[in-house]
Amino acid sequence: ALTAPAHSAAASEFLSRAPHGHLIGGSWQAAGETFDTLDPATGKVLAAVARGDAATVDRAVAAARNALETGAWPAMTPMDRAKLLWAIADKLEAHIDELAELETLDQGKPLYVGRWAEIPGAINQFRFFGGLANQIEGKSIPTSVNYQPPGKEVFAYTVKEPVGVVAAIVPWNSPLVLTAMKLAPALAAGCTVVLKPAEDTSLTAIRLLELMIEAGLPAGTVNLVTGFGRDCGAALAAHPGVDKIAFTGSTATGRAIIDAAKGNFKRLTLELGGKSPVVILPDADLAMAIPGAANAIYFNGGQVCVAGSRLYVHDSVFDQVVAGIAAVAQGMVLGHGLDQGTQMGPLVSQHHAAKVAQYIADGRKAGASVIAGGETAGPNASFITPTVLTDVTPDMAVVREEIFGPVVVAQRYSDLDEVVRAGNDSEYGLAASIWTESLSYAHRLAKRLRAGTVWINTHSMYDASLPIGGMKQSGWGRDSGVGALDNYLETKTVCAVI
Ligand code: NAD
């Protein structure tokens, strides 16, 4: 039987304070109605969390509106806002082990994923956008109007203003870093926020807000409402007091968000699903490409929006690559995320693991061969063994739909045009990777693949400075990078006759 190793004192202290309430206008509320958040590896209850509803959302939006109109945050100098974002980053860094542990407990991921990739990634978001807080500039613009009164001139300029109250709605796969991707640029722009984490993973959002307040974030600047998507999330997305929704989640929910935003024409950025191709050319360095392609799909149990879930391998190396990835899959150590040697944890919930298992079963039925994995395991039936499917055809659900688990479908190709067509044959366009020693092929292929990010000889490499987001049904707009600040700004033109 699989048991959770003992929690650290810091994590135990945090969990012992449950039930955790909402944060509204700078004060933690009594929890009221709650729901349990579970350790997905064991199925045991970790803590009770407040279950928000439309009335909670109303109060949180009102607090964010009030903070926008009369609060300290928008009135602060840009340099003071920058200093606070850096202070938040320092605070998170001081609590990095605790945050990584809570993320593992709540989400299941191996500790090293949070400790060395995702929590540092969240910290970098606050540092990066802190650095941009005092670089929000307008322009003075020459005009050619010919009807100004004689003897007068036209003087015109633009200013950038915060878009207003932002609803940040985030998923469960990488909770803290995806939250930071919304909060850091929104705050740098001078917005106020209502944050709603995913119902499966509320814990690091709660701890983040505690730490942000300790760092000195003024009351009401960021409000937190925990709860379910169907009621609490839907109420937030439709709320007329919200000016902008910054959403990361599935394409299906993205569509519901578009509908909910219509009423008052909310601004939207949508970071949605993917089915990203990994293309291995005949000249690839296989010592790098095989572990690279395996990592592209098995990192975080495949619960990564950009996961390399469609593998296209040139005929000449297909058997070798598939055998190599199957060997990596079979050698992976599955276990509780807090166990030192664990390479893959459980999926986020038993419910999600059952969905992934259903995809594998349907793929089998449709004629796919399971070369590795394909099993459900663990005391909570929440583990899926790393899986490789071959003998798939482009029309199968396992090839077309986002499974969001450790399942790769491997297909062969024989020429470049064929792999471009196959790679682009998807409603998604989030990411792709190309594995080759030829710079020329790499860049020519990078140009032809319809994806928001193309990696060459790597996959899933992120940085706060690199725009990330999707073409086609993978979303609207980009998170990260200098341009993401504009997601949270409106341009105002001031035109004067002087
Ligand atoms: P989800 O769409 O089910 O939920 C995301 C968030 O939306 C949660 O907080 C949920 O409570 C909320 N929600 C659900 N229904 C809602 C509604 N009707 N109105 C408002 N809010 C609602 O997604 P998930 O299963 O939590 O996350 C996995 C998905 O996220 C995958 O599709 C993955 O590809 C995507 N994702 C995309 C990116 C990216 O950058 N493009 C990054 C990570 C994850």
> Cα–Cα distance between 423 and 335 in angstroms, integer?
33
74 C-beta closer than 6 A to ligand 1: no
pLDDT per residue of the chain (498 residues) written in tens, 0 to 9:
578 789 999 999 999 999 999 999 999 999 999 999 999 999 999 999 999 999 999 999 999 999 999 999 999 999 999 999 999 999 999 999 999 999 999 999 999 999 999 999 999 999 999 999 999 999 999 999 888 888 999 999 999 999 999 999 999 999 999 999 999 999 999 999 999 999 999 999 999 999 999 999 999 999 999 999 999 999 999 999 999 999 999 999 999 999 999 999 999 999 999 999 999 999 999 999 999 999 999 999 999 999 999 999 999 999 999 999 999 999 999 999 999 999 999 999 999 999 999 999 999 999 999 999 999 999 999 999 999 999 999 999 999 999 999 999 999 999 999 999 999 999 999 999 999 999 999 999 999 999 999 999 999 999 999 999 999 999 999 999 999 999 999 999 999 999
Instruction: Provide the pLDDT for residue 1.
Output: 56
Instruction: Provide the pLDDT for residue 148.
Output: 82
169 C-beta closer than 6 A to ligand 1: yes
Residue in the structure block whose two tokens are 């670089």: 135
Which atom of ligand 1 is found nearest the CA of 198? 9
Residue in the structure block whose two tokens are 């995702």: 118
Instruction: Provide the pLDDT for residue 157.
Output: 98
Torsions phi, psi of 106, nearest 5? -85, -35
> Cα–Cα distance between 223 and 165 in angstroms, integer?
11
Nearest residue (by CA) to ligand 1, atom 38, is 305
Q: How far is the CA of 201 from the centre of ligand 1 (A)?
A: 12
Which atom of ligand 1 is found nearest the CA of 430? 41
172 C-beta closer than 6 A to ligand 1: yes
Nearest residue (by CA) to ligand 1, atom 22, is 229
Q: How far is the CA of 171 from the centre of ligand 1 (A)?
A: 4
Q: How far is the CA of 391 from the centre of ligand 1 (A)?
A: 31
Secondary element (H or E) of residue 9: helix 9-16
Nearest residue (by CA) to ligand 1, atom 21, is 233
254 C-beta closer than 6 A to ligand 1: no
Closest CA to 101 of 126, 88, 118, 121: 118
Nearest residue (by CA) to ligand 1, atom 44, is 305
Instruction: Provide the pLDDT for residue 4.
Output: 78
The tokens for 42 are 């064991």
Whole-Å CA distances, 368 to 105, 246, 303: 34, 38, 22
Residue 23: how many CB atoms within 10 A of its CB? 27
Nearest residue (by CA) to ligand 1, atom 43, is 305
133 C-beta closer than 6 A to ligand 1: no
ipTM value greater than 0.85? yes
End-to-end CA distance of the chain: 79
Task: Confirm if 452 and 469 have CB atoms less than 8 A apart.
Answer: yes
Nearest residue (by CA) to ligand 1, atom 39, is 271
Burial bucket for residue 77 (CB in 10 Å: 0-12, 13-18, 19+): exposed
Candidate from 49, 106, 169, 225 with most ligand 1 atoms within 8 A of CB, to mutate: 169
pTM: 0.97
Angle, CA of 173, 269 and 106, to the nearest 5°:
15
Which atom of ligand 1 is found nearest the CA of 273? 34
171 C-beta closer than 6 A to ligand 1: yes
Which atom of ligand 1 is found nearest the CA of 200? 26
Closest CA to 194 of 161, 172, 227: 227
Which atom of ligand 1 is found nearest the CA of 252? 2
Nearest residue (by CA) to ligand 1, atom 15, is 229
56 C-beta closer than 6 A to ligand 1: no
| Collapsed DSSP state (helix, strand, coil) of residue 155 | strand
Which atom of ligand 1 is found nearest the CA of 181? 40
Sign of CA dihedral 247, 248, 251, 256: negative
14 C-beta closer than 6 A to ligand 1: no
274 C-beta closer than 6 A to ligand 1: yes
Instruction: Provide the pLDDT for residue 53.
Output: 98
Nearest residue (by CA) to ligand 1, atom 41, is 271
352 C-beta closer than 6 A to ligand 1: no
Closest CA to 425 of 469, 455, 458, 392: 392
> Cα–Cα distance between 466 and 489 in angstroms, integer?
19
Torsions phi, psi of 450, nearest 5? -90, 90
Burial bucket for residue 321 (CB in 10 Å: 0-12, 13-18, 19+): buried
The set of catalytic residues is 271
233 C-beta closer than 6 A to ligand 1: yes
